[in-house]
């Protein structure tokens, strides 16, 4: 009894360490530098949800619905500020660290080792970006969904079976991939497992988990009058066209360097799991009916699915936090089959050394935000732009001038836009600006080459109709563009003879909408 009490006290103490460490490390890095197109992705949209506007309905959104609603909730609790914006990412960083610790512990890994692997994950999971990002949310929720599947197999607890679909749906509504890949893996293996271990109760609990989270989203849609057809076009059909193009463009050619050398530590991390899978098959063909077969297969297939997802994304590499996770599981299984401690120490060494390497190379240099070639000592205090940006240390790799010059121009631009009390669209990568301005809207969350269908792309007509609907609904009288974006963002959405162009300052251009017979091209 006393031993169990001591263990629980240690566990609570370790959980407190994980909580404060994972929050602190991400808060620290989330305050360093900006890459506008990514960094501010959910600042304005979270604020808009807080104020009664919603993705799909009020602005075009191809991913990140979960992020929007979570950010709005955090803004509601802590206020609209850079602190609460980064806190969103920090809480996600804690969530993946907590579930890593909890899962490894349930798999009977020593509590001290479970703590080490969890802390290592938190160092390079969300701090790579520092601020909320759809890929990170989707990946974290997907991995937690995987953990729930593994924990159900390990403990036979139906509680994890109930949580499984909840996390997968949250992941899908963050971004369609890699959640879709993980869903396929779990569904395939889960179906085989169910054939040999059928239980109507388990099916019912799984169904209840899906029903709970889907009903929650349906209620959000119905109560906020979000069109299911618009959701189908924006979130399902248009992203499929992006994925179809990327498979051929990014995945091929299948080169050894791209597939193996770049991700060698991930391959090494799962190598013991692959070895155990093969050796157990050789010893006993009926191994495929055992729980360890499904656990090992789930981990191995997930590792390769996440590598595939990374190959198909435009972003800098961010999946390396899975290395300590998979090394943790390799540690567990090696501990069961061998008394050669040097293999265990090797796993720990690889986990620690790889984390240090990726922390220095990616996190410290802010590589995900394209800041690796930027002098990070030249940071500005973003609160000079607006007090809501307090704690943010400003530097932008895409701005050719000095930090102080960019902040001064942005401050002047805010003052100019504030004086325009009429309803207006603001098109910019500095998406936080709309949250600081009156009567300012946006018709898309982001303005890169994949966030909306361009001319000659499928579903462009849907996008054009969406634009004109909100142009009229909100009574928009002018459209402002902030460089480096250009007018061609909406060039195919409205006739040139409907616009009157005026250069306001170095980065700001105003397009006044004048009366014409037909706004459309």
pLDDT per residue as tens digits for the range 239-253: 988 765 655 555 666
- How would you label 284-300 residue by residue, b for 16+ Cβ within 10 Å and e otherwise? eeebeeeeebbbbbbbb
Structure tokens at 202: 């388990």
> Rounded to an integer, what distance in angstroms lies between the CA atom of residue 229 and that of residue 55?
13
Q: Residue 242: what pLDDT? A: 77
Q: What values do phi and psi take at 482, rounded to 5?
A: -115, 125
Q: Which residues neighbour 456 within 8 Å (Cβ) at sequence distance 6 or greater?
A: none
CA within 13 Å, CB half, 427 = 23
pLDDT score of 521: 46
Could you give the CA distance from residue 312 to residue 317 in angstroms, rounded to a whole number?
11
* CA-to-CA separations, 183 to 167, 179, 190, 299, in angstroms, rounded: 10, 6, 10, 13
Q: What is the pLDDT of residue 284?
A: 81
Same domain, 323 and 405: no
CB 113 within 8 A of CB 104: yes
CA distance 307 to 320: 10
Of 323, 346, 369, which one is at a domain's C-terminal end? Answer: 369
Flag whether 411 is in a domain.
yes
Spatial separation of the C-alpha atoms in residues 321 and 357, rounded to whole Å: 11
Cis check for the bond before 251: say yes or no (omega within 30 of 0): no
Residue 38 within any structural domain of the chain: no
Residue 397 is encoded by which pair of tokens? 């790799």
Domain check: are 306 and 444 in the same one? Answer: no
Q: Six-digit token pair at 87?
A: 């806190």
Token pair recorded at residue 417: 């836009």
Half-sphere exposure of 128 (CA within 13 A, CB side): 26
Give domain status of residue 212, yes or no.
yes
Number of C-beta neighbours around residue 239 at 10 A: 16
pLDDT for 517 equals 56
- Rounded CA-CA distance 285/202 in Å is 27
Kindly state whether residue 393 falls inside one of the protein's structural domains. Answer: no
Range of the domain at 421: 400-513
Identify the pLDDT of residue 247.
58
Asked if 363 and 484 sit in the same domain, the reply is no
Nearest to 422 by CA among 361, 475, 459, 353: 475
**379 close to 32: Cβ distance less than 8 angstroms:** yes
Query: Which letter does DSSP use for residue 503 in this model?
Result: E
Residues (pLDDT < 70) of the chain are 1-3, 5, 243-258, 314, 516-521
Same domain, 203 and 278: yes
pTM of the model: 0.94
In a domain, 480, yes or no: yes
The answer for residues whose C-beta is within 8 angstroms of residue 112's C-beta and 6 or more apart is none
Q: Which residue has the tokens 């620290």?
A: 28
Q: Are residues 86 and 146 in the same domain?
A: yes
What's the order of all strands across the beta sheet hosting 508-513?
Answer: 440-441, 424-427, 478-482, 508-513, 499-503
Helix ranges (H only) for 338-481 are: 341-358, 403-419, 460-473
Which DSSP symbol is given to 364?
I
Q: Are residues 405 and 362 in the same domain?
A: no
**Torsion over CA of 357, 363, 89 and 174, rounded to 10 degrees?**
-80
Phi/psi of residue 139, each to 5°? -65, -40
Cα dist. 461→181, 452, 457 in Å?
30, 11, 9
Q: Is the peptide bond between 486 and the residue preceding it cis, with omega within 30 degrees of 0?
A: no
The 8-class DSSP code of residue 372 comes to T
User: Cβ(272)–Cβ(333) under 8 Å?
Assistant: yes
Report yes or no on 16 lying in a domain. yes
Domain assignment present for residue 375? The answer is no
Q: How many domains does the chain have?
A: 2
Q: What is the dihedral of CA 49, 52, 56, 60, to 10 degrees?
A: -70
* Whether residue 456 sits in one domain with residue 335: no
Cα–Cα distance for residue pair 54/72, rounded to 1 Å: 10
User: Which tokens is 172 given?
Assistant: 């899908």
Q: Are both 204 and 278 inside the same structural domain?
A: yes
Q: Are residues 208 and 117 in the same domain?
A: yes
Tell me how far apart the terminal alpha carbons of the chain are, to the nearest angstrom: 77
My answer on whether 313 and 419 are in the same domain is no
Is 251 part of any domain? no
Identify the pLDDT of residue 518: 53
Judged on CB neighbours under 10 Å (0-12, 13-18, 19+), 87 is buried
- Judge if 104 and 222 occupy the same domain: yes
């Amino acid at each position: 009894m006393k031993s169990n009490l001591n263990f629980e006290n240690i566990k609570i103490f370790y959980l407190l360490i994980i909580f404060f460490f994972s929050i602190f490390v991400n808060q620290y890095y989330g305050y360093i530098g900006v890459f506008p197109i990514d960094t501010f992705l959910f600042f304005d949209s979270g604020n808009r949800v807080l104020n009664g506007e919603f993705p799909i309905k009020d602005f075009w959104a191809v991913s990140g619905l979960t992020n929007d609603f979570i950010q709005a909730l955090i803004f509601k609790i802590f206020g609209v500020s850079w602190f609460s914006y980064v806190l969103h990412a920090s809480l996600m960083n804690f969530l993946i660290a907590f579930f890593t610790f909890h899962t490894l512990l349930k798999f009977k890994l020593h509590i001290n080792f479970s703590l080490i692997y969890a802390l290592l994950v938190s160092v390079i999971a969300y701090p790579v970006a520092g601020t909320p990002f759809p890929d990170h949310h989707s990946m974290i929720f997907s991995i937690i969904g995987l953990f729930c599947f593994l924990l159900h197999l390990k403990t036979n607890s139906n509680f994890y079976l109930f949580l499984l679909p909840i996390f997968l749906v949250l992941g899908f509504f963050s971004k369609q991939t890699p959640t879709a890949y993980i869903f396929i893996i779990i569904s395939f293996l889960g179906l085989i497992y169910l054939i040999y271990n059928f239980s109507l109760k388990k099916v019912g609990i799984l169904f209840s988990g899906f029903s709970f989270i889907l009903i929650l989203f349906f209620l959000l849609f119905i109560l906020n009058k979000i069109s299911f057809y618009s959701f189908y076009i924006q979130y399902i059909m248009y992203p499929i066209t992006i994925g179809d193009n990327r498979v051929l463009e990014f995945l091929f050619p299948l080169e050894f360097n791209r597939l193996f050398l770049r991700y060698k530590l991930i391959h090494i991390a799962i190598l013991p799991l692959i070895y155990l899978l093969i050796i157990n098959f050789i010893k006993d063909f009926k191994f495929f009916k055992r729980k360890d077969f499904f656990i090992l297969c789930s981990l191995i297939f997930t590792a390769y699915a996440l590598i595939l997802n990374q190959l198909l994304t435009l972003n800098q590499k961010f999946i390396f936090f899975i290395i300590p996770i998979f090394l943790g599981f390799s540690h567990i299984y090696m501990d069961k089959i061998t008394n050669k401690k040097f293999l265990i120490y090797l796993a720990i060494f690889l986990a620690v050394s790889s984390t240090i390497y990726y922390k220095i190379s990616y996190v410290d240099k802010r590589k995900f935000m394209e800041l690796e070639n930027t002098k990070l000592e030249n940071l500005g205090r973003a609160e000079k732009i607006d007090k809501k940006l307090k704690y943010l240390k400003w530097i932008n790799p895409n701005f050719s001038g000095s930090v102080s010059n960019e902040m001064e121009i942005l401050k002047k631009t805010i003052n100019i836009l504030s004086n325009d009390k009429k309803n207006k669209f603001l098109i910019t990568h500095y998406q936080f600006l709309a949250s600081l301005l009156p009567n300012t809207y946006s018709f898309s969350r982001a303005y890169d080459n994949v966030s909306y269908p361009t001319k000659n792309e499928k579903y462009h007509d849907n996008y054009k109709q969406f634009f004109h609907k909100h142009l009229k609904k909100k009574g928009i009288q002018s459209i402002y563009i902030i460089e480096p974006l250009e007018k061609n963002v909406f060039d195919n959405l409205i006739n040139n003879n409907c616009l009157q162009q005026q250069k306001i300052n170095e980065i700001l251009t105003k397009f006044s909408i004048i009366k014409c017979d037909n706004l459309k091209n």
